[in-house]
Amino acid sequence: MVYSREVEATDADLAREIAAAAPGEAREAEGELYRRLAPRVRLYGLRHLRDEQAAADLMQQVLLMTIESLRAGRVRDPEKLASFVLGAARGARGPGRGGSRNRTWSGCGGAWRSWPRGSGASW
């Protein structure tokens, strides 16, 4: 499937396409999902880890795990992909890294709350 600006698939649509395809066969969907989520995960990492390289590492780790989980069918509800990614980012950050683990998405400058509607974000 080719993604155009005219008819934009939601994050959940992309997640379902990746899950339904053989591993590596949904490259366009994987690339589009990566392009959408990478800046958000990086910003989360910067906010909580306060280190550019650590945020870049977190972004790579979380997005790789997300795509691998989609390929393996381990994401139960594609409509809640944003929550899945948040949990992965929190878990990958590790305990005691970058401040309180009780921070919410609103604590990172509102970037996660400001996802465009239709992107699969549920809040």
Domain ranges of the chain: 11-93
- Read off the tokens for 44: 């989360």
Q: Which pLDDT tens digit goes with each residue over 25-40?
A: 999 999 999 999 999 9
Percent residues over pLDDT 70 in the chain: 71
Please tell me whether residue 101 adopts helix, strand or coil conformation.
coil
pLDDT, mean over the chain: 80
Closest CA to 49 of 103, 112, 111: 103
Predicted pLDDT at 22: 95
